[in-house]
């Protein structure tokens, strides 16, 4: 199975950088067959990023109202993402929008997993919050297990 891990975020906006933090923690640390990418632009660029992969794991910050540091793991290939996540992006189009667009166009990898990490600080210039940073470590470990087939 060809796999890509994509961290989504904006490193200038505190917890919105969490996907990038996870991607950087995993870069060079996974099997050679797993590609780790960073997506700092609009999430619609995911359609090109995961092209040719049959498994994509995407990590992004969420703002759903849950406690900071809360992790959600969603099998996006199984159906639409929860409505609470479609309104949680600091991007023009969020991850949920990009996934639904890919689904409609037939460009969603057959296995697409989304890890959302609830953030607390999203203003320009904010630092990464402690709850989000701790959750990033747990998500990176979960992804390692998942791509190694131990989850």
Per-residue confidence in pLDDT tens, the chain, 151 aa: 699 999 999 999 999 999 999 999 999 888 888 999 999 877 788 999 999 999 999 999 998 899 999 999 999 999 887 766 654 445 546 788 889 999 999 999 999 999 999 999 999 989 999 999 999 999 999 999 999 886 5
CA distance linking residue 22 with residue 29, whole number of Å? 11
CA distance linking residue 57 with residue 115, whole number of Å? 7
* Sequence spans of domains, the chain: 3-147
Comparing C-alpha atoms, which of 142, 144, 69, 99 is closest to residue 8? 99
CB 19 within 8 A of CB 73: no
Quick one: CATH architecture of 3-147?
3-Layer(aba) Sandwich (3.40)
Q: Is the dihedral of CA 146, 134, 60, 78 positive or negative?
A: positive
CA-CA distances (angstroms) from residue 112 to 11, 73, 134, 149? 24, 11, 24, 15
CA distance linking residue 69 with residue 53, whole number of Å? 29
């Amino acid at each position: 199975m060809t796999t890509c891990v994509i961290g989504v975020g904006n490193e200038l906006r505190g917890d919105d950088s969490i996907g990038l933090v996870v991607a950087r923690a995993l870069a060079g640390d996974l099997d050679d067959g797993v590609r780790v990418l960073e997506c700092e632009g609009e999430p619609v660029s995911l359609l090109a990023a995961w092209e040719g992969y049959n498994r994509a794991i995407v990590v992004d910050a969420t703002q759903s109202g849950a406690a900071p540091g809360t992790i959600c793991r969603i099998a996006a290939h199984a159906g639409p993402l929860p409505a609470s996540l479609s309104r949680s992006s600091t991007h023009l189009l969020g991850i949920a929008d990009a996934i639904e667009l890919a689904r409609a166009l037939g460009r969603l990898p057959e296995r697409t997993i989304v890890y959302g990490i609830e953030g607390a600080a999203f203003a320009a210039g904010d630092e990464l919050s402690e709850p989000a940073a701790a959750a990033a470590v747990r998500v990176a470990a979960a992804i390692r297990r998942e791509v190694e087939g131990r989850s």
